[in-house]
Amino acid sequence: MYLRLCGSVALYGDGQNAEVAIGAKSLALLAFLTLESGSHSRDELSNLLWGASAEVKARASLRQALKQLKDALGDCLALDRSSAELAMPIECDVLRYRQHADGADPRMLDVDVPRFLHGLSLRDAPAFDEWAERQRAVMLRPFRRALTTAARAAHAQRDWPQALSLSMRWQSLDVFSDDAAQLHIDVLHRMGDRDNALATYRIYAAAHQQETGQPPGLALRELARRIEHTSARPTPISSRTIAASEGAMPAFEGPLVGREQSWASLMRGWQTVADGGGALVLIDGEQGTGKSRLMLDFTQFVVSQDATLLRGRAFEAGVDMPFGPMVDIIRSAIDAPGAAGTDELWLAEVARVLPGTRRIFPSLPEASQSTTAAGPALSEAVAQLFLAVAEESPLVIVLDDMQWCDADSCQLMHFLVQRLADAPVLWCFAKSLGVTDRDAPAARLTRALRAVPNVHRVSLQPLTYDEVWRLIRSLGRVTHPDGAKRLASRIHDVAGGNPLYVVELLKSLFARGWLSVDPRTHEWIHSDTMSGELLAAEVFPDLRAAVAERVAALPDEQHALLLTIATAGSPCHTSLLSYVHGISRLRAAHLCDALVERRLVMEADGHYVCVNRIVGHVVLETMGTSRRREVHRMIAMALTESAVSVRRAPEPGAIARHAEAGGEPAMAHQYALLASEASAVQSAWADALRWLDLAAACAMTPHEQRAADRATVSVLKLGGLSTQPRRLMTPNETRVISADDVDLSGSVSHRT
């Protein structure tokens, strides 16, 4: 037997096909006995369903209903003269919902809880109506939480069809919720349905005004304004040149395909922290397998859940300042709600690595001048800061490209993970495999963190053929049932299932004019700008050559800026680019934004960096030795100038590194010594020794050599660690793609 209580109430006998015909009050009685286990007196049951009737009539009606249930259920229903109960449980959607809800299982959303006992109309049963309303309210609380969580997660993963379905369910549940309406409207806009998004907003705004007398909230109104100011039509595609074609490339913002288990691990970690505990997630995978994308989507989700997010990233291009990856995280913590609850003595220690702390808290006392105590004191100070921030809301700390972390940052992170193990803090570390030696600091830290309680390990693997096919169909809005099968198969073979390589190959297909976008449906189609024979005669180059082709097609000014950004190796501010190229900051920002549109550069907080390591390596390979040396020299000069112009202290390590590569040994020696001194003050001994190695290598006079030697002796006395040199990983060679592989609308035919 199966009892369905959510939706159209019904009792089924043989599976869920044969409905058992019983009366409405018999169904209501069965619902009560099913959800309220145990024995119930006949007086209780008659008052529940026939409380408004005379006692004799109520008892007679109860006997008739129980007889009807006995005929339908048989031995499942146990009756005696005074009571009734279910002798054995029957299958019921609400019972299944309760099990899923207890385990926070997403399958609980498969049950239509808002329609609990929908359509079951009873006369003269106020007690049952009250009971049913209580049951509905109890079930709706976890259902609403699960629905909003799932909707926001689908939005964060850019699974727009799923996000649309869930946001519509959320809005139907909370009719006047700005959050639900905002998510629904934003999803419609991101799916390209601008007119429907604006129409949905107008309907909601009018209903909200009529019901509450107030307009929707500011955030929702601002979203509507942004949508109104966007173009109603996509930019037409030009096939004149590769550069023009790239400017009209689709955004490639598809769902998070093939990462369902990885996402589930992140969600388990988040749930632990949301419940007040601590958790750690270690994400690893080959370069390009989607670690950054996974973390980006997850951080968008936790922010929507009112978590405090602290984010940092390590870079391959040397260590420009002590605790480099941690400085950004600490800076975010200083600006976060709750930071003011940290004791001033601890904040004074934090100010040793982040002098800007004193601008926010000007009354801080002076920190201890003891160099040897700085390490433990700083570690505890950062822990106290994070604890204060976590008091306000669950804290999520994300570090990308952990493999490039220096030894001092690794030591600090190891301490913090252990120190904050019981606090509501979720650590998320992402690391690329195969790019550092096994005894590198980050490798040792990873091994240590694997033994931490509540650790969730996520290892990203290449996408399967089916997953690549799903990704292409989603990105391209492919409607034909078999569309893109051959294209997906070929791209999977060439890219080896690596998501980054898959996307880069697709970008290059657009750049070559093989693919275009239907301006009406936004579906990817086979381009008709070239003949099939000409396309079939061409072959697709390997990934590096494809990126090189896109770079070569850049206008001269954009190409020059891209060379500088790749040479810098770390985020470049517009002031640096302005100095190097002798242009205004506005012009530099304009050119960089053009590179962002071409998917060669990404921007964050006014700084620009190559979108991935492959682009950076390809750009560097196109530079001659002399030009690369000159760019390094100009960057070193610009760092001293731009640091002053943006009112930030110059980073001596970055200047030393670029000066050495730029053939300026005296300048490199000077700033390497300064970088070593800054590291020693903060007990970053590994950094101090590394900069002294550079200073010694760049010494041109006996005096400079003695200065480096004396400083080295001093640092060695205080103690420190050294790190192994890092090596680059080069992508594998790829095979070729022909035009005949592009089985989309507009191609020769669809083949199975």
Query: The domain spanning residue 361 has which CATH number?
Result: 3.40.50
Q: What whole-number distance in Å separates Cα of residue 330 and Cα of residue 370?
A: 22
Taking residues 622-633, report their average pLDDT.
91
Amino acid identity, position 550: R
Residue 249 falls within a domain, yes or no? no
CATH code: domain of residue 103: 1.10.10.10
Structure tokens at 117: 């006992």
Give the pLDDT confidence score for residue 151 in this predicted structure: 92
Locate all alpha helices (DSSP H) within 275-406, ordered by sequence.
291-304, 324-335, 344-350, 357-360, 374-392
Domain match, 48 and 172 both:
no
Domain match, 443 and 294 both:
yes
Give the pLDDT confidence score for residue 369 in this predicted structure: 57
| Other beta carbons less than 10 A from residue 110's beta carbon | 12
Residue 710 falls within a domain, yes or no? no
| Other beta carbons less than 10 A from residue 253's beta carbon | 10
Would strands 572-573 and 425-432 be described as parallel, antiparallel, or unpaired?
unpaired
C-beta separation of 433 from 258 below 8 A: no
Domain match, 519 and 391 both:
no
Domain match, 312 and 380 both:
yes
Reading phi first (left if > 0) and then psi (alpha if -120 to 50, else beta), residue 282 is in beta
Give the pLDDT confidence score for residue 642 in this predicted structure: 57
Residue 300 falls within a domain, yes or no? yes
pLDDT band, very low/low/confident/very high, at 673 (cuts 50, 70, 90): very high
Q: What whole-number distance in Å separates Cα of residue 177 and Cα of residue 532?
A: 53
Place of tokens 């005894």: 439
Residue 293 falls within a domain, yes or no? yes
Domain match, 163 and 136 both:
no
Residue 599 falls within a domain, yes or no? no
Taking residues 460-474, report their average pLDDT.
93
C-beta separation of 311 from 299 below 8 A: yes
Q: What whole-number distance in Å separates Cα of residue 601 and Cα of residue 551?
A: 11
Domain coverage including residue 494: 465-542+735-741
Last residue of one domain, picked from the residues 449, 481, 503? 449
Residue 663 falls within a domain, yes or no? no
Q: What whole-number distance in Å separates Cα of residue 659 and Cα of residue 649?
A: 17
Residue 352 has pLDDT above 90, yes or no: no
Domain match, 445 and 469 both:
no
Give the pLDDT confidence score for residue 730 in this predicted structure: 36
For the chain, how many residues are written? 752
Domain match, 470 and 430 both:
no
Q: What whole-number distance in Å separates Cα of residue 578 and Cα of residue 76?
A: 82
pLDDT band, very low/low/confident/very high, at 193 (cuts 50, 70, 90): confident
Domain match, 126 and 162 both:
no
Taking residues 318-335, report their average pLDDT.
79
Distance between start and end Cα atoms, the chain: 44
Q: What whole-number distance in Å separates Cα of residue 688 and Cα of residue 677?
A: 7
Structure tokens at 573: 């501010």
The enclosing H or E element of 515 equals strand 515-517
Which residues, other chains included, contact 118 with Cβ-Cβ below 8 Å and sequence gap of 6+?
A: 6, 7, 8, 9, 112
CATH code: domain of residue 182: 1.25.40.10
Q: What whole-number distance in Å separates Cα of residue 209 and Cα of residue 204?
A: 8
Residue 72 falls within a domain, yes or no? yes
Give the pLDDT confidence score for residue 727 in this predicted structure: 33
Domain match, 489 and 374 both:
no
Structure tokens at 272: 């632990």
Domain match, 506 and 387 both:
no
Most confident of 213-217, 436-440, 518-522: 213-217
C-beta separation of 119 from 8 below 8 A: yes
Last residue of one domain, picked from the residues 449, 473, 503? 449
Calculate the average pLDDT of the chain. 84
Domain match, 201 and 117 both:
no
Place of tokens 């009606």: 61
Residue 458 falls within a domain, yes or no? no
Domain match, 353 and 387 both:
yes
Taking residues 25-43, report their average pLDDT.
91
Would strands 395-400 and 40-41 be described as parallel, antiparallel, or unpaired?
unpaired
How is 546-599 classified by DSSP, letter by letter? HHHHHHHTS-HHHHHHHHHHHHH-S-EEHHHHHHHHT--HHHHHHHHHHHHHTT
Quick: pLDDT tens for 362-414.
888 876 655 443 468 889 999 999 999 999 999 999 999 898 888 888 989 99
Residue 325 has pLDDT above 50, yes or no: yes
Q: What whole-number distance in Å separates Cα of residue 409 and Cα of residue 415?
A: 10
Last residue of one domain, picked from the residues 449, 483, 516? 449
Counted domains in the chain = 4
**Higher local confidence (pLDDT), 238 or 57:** 57
